[in-house]
Every structure is written in C-alpha cells, then in structure tokens.
Structure 1
Amino acid sequence: MAPGGARMASPAEVEERLAGAEAALVACGHSHVQRAMRSASGCLIVNPGSVGLQAYDDDHLHYHIMQNGSPDARYAIVERGAAGWGAALIAVPYDWRPMAELAARNGRPDWAHAIATGYARPSHQ
C-alpha cells in the first residue's frame, strides 16, 4: 500500500471490478488524479483529475492522501468516434495564487498549500 493508504488500482483490480459489466466507457473521480486506461474488453476508464483542488487528505474509511504534484487545473475531454471512445487528459497552467490566498483567508491553509503545490499537507498521520 502506498504512503497514506491510497494507490491506483492495478489493471488486474480494474478487470475484477468490471467483471460482467458491458460498459464501453466508465467515468470516475474522487482521487483528483488524472488517469485513462482501457480494459481487456475495450472499456475506456477515465478519471479527469481536478480543476480546483489538486490534493487532499481524508480519513473516510481510512486515512489517505491524494495528490497530483502540480497546481495545474486538470480535466478530460472524452469523445466517441468511429473507433470507439477516446480521451484527452488536459493540464492547464493558471494563476493559482488568488485561489490559494482565498483558501488561506477562509481558514483553509491545507487547501491553500494543495492549490499552490499539488501536494497535500497531511492534517494527521
């Protein structure tokens, strides 16, 4: 298990979770970390990332940290073409300073750090 108790699902775990599903496209999130992969059956699985909060820590179910290591806004464009579904993962640099300052003014130094760096400042271990 990765530090903080969270890691990306392996290809084998993805296949197990999709067993019996007939979907051509699965959109997921919550990790705030971009990823696109295709299952053995051809299903495209896409996590678009996060436009506004690039990292966080949480203790729901178990303590974990999710972070992408960059302040860039991230999203995905998913399109269906003649060959099936495809995804473009986009990272866009932007002036994150005003948002980090707003988070700090609103009593969220953890969010200010995440917005500015793409890394979580753990609230506890």
Structure 2
Amino acid sequence: MLVHQHLRLDVCALRQEHVAWLAAQPATLLYCDEVFLCHAAPDDDAAFWLEQIMEDGTSRPSNLVSIEARVAGIDASLILCGHSHLPRIVRLSDSRLVVNPGSVGLPGCRISTPKRYHVETGTPDAGYAIAERRLGRWSATFRYVPYDPTRMAALARDGGRPDWASAIATGWVD
C-alpha cells in the first residue's frame, strides 16, 4: 500500500505505528466476494484510473475502454477506489459499478511528482459516497457534510503545504 508522507509528522498527525499499520495493509481487498477495494487502480496503487492527467496538469475523465481494461479478471459487482480525491461513478458496460467517493478531508491538491498536476472539487465539505444494492444492482449517492476546516487547514499550512491548506479551507487550490 502506498503511504503518502507529504506532511511532517507532529503530535496531531499519525503516529509511526499507524503509518506502519497502513503500510502493512494489502493493496487490494475483496470483501464478501462482491466488493473490490483498491486505493487507485486495481493494478497500480499510484495510478489515476477514472481520470487522466493532461499535459497542462489538469484532469479529465478517462474513457470507458481504458477504465474497463483495468478490471479484467475482477468479478466483483462493486469496485471502490480513490486516489484522485475526485468523486466519480462509472457504470461499466457489464453493469458493474465503480465508485470513487472523493475525499473527506482533502478536496484538492497540487502534486509535482512524478508529474505536475492539480485537482480540486470546489467545496471544502467532507465528501463520501453511500453504495446500496437494490434488485441485484448497485447504485451510489454522493453526500457532502459541512464542517469547520480551520484546524486542519492550519495543520497543513504549518506542515509546509499552503496548497493543501487552501484546498481544505475552500475546495480550491490557490
């Protein structure tokens, strides 16, 4: 599992045993034979899957052909992923559902390696998705919950990430 270390660890951040626990988790997991979980793409823990990064550093949705190419051999009817921090739902041609719930606490960021890019959702609200199965078919709904991001934005700023501080406070990367 990929563990990002963009912020300095301090008393409010994850302790080393938490980082070690996260690093020890499998890169993918099949839950109850029908829900497949991965951080980024099923075959690459650091790849953009539902989006692609353009030359100017912006993102745009990936096409269905490239998305489906990465689910070969996965029989799960619901596939949950993340990494891009952008909420997205994709219905595959065989009716399976891929869901990226977005981000609870970092609705945008600017990254410079391995390629410079930025993403932003436009809201500081905590985002998540609710997936439910009805009549044998999965659906998902995005939810956004307002919260006071002041403390987390200050932590990002103090950790040397003013771009994260901006995204946490506003949903936009300055």
What TM-score do you get using the length of structure 1 for normalisation? Answer: 0.82
Describe the SS at the equivalent of 1:110.
helix
What letter is aligned with 1:97? T
Q: Distance in 1 between matches of 2:133 and 2:160?
A: 42
What letter is aligned with 1:7? R
Further displaced range: 26-35 or 85-94? 85-94
1:72-123 Cα deviation digits (max 9, x unpaired): 11011122333322211111122222322332234332221111121223xx
Equivalent residue for 1:87, pick from 127, 133, 140? 140
Describe the SS at the equivalent of 1:7.
strand
**Aligned residues of 2:58 and 2:119 also touching (Cα < 8 A):** no
RMSD of aligned C-alpha atoms? 2.0
Equivalent residue for 2:82, pick from 29, 36, 40? 29
Q: Distance in 1 between matches of 2:118 and 2:158?
A: 23
Taking only the aligned residue pairs, the percentage that are identical comes to 45
Describe the SS at the equivalent of 1:116.
helix
Describe the SS at the equivalent of 1:101.
helix
Q: Which blocks of at least 5 consecutive residues in structure 1 are unaligned?
A: none
After the TM superposition, which parts of structure 1 deviate over 3 Å for at least 4 consecutive aligned residues? none
Number of the residue aligned with 1:50: 103
- How many residues are paired up? 121
Q: Which has the higher contact order (CA 8 A, sep 6+)?
A: 1
Q: Distance in 2 between matches of 1:116 and 1:47?
A: 22
Q: Distance in 2 between matches of 1:22 and 1:107?
A: 42
**Aligned residues of 1:5 and 1:62 also touching (Cα < 8 A):** no
What letter is aligned with 1:32? H
Deviation at 1:12, TM superposition (A): 2.8
Q: Does 1:108 align with 2:154?
A: no
Q: Does 1:7 align with 2:63?
A: no
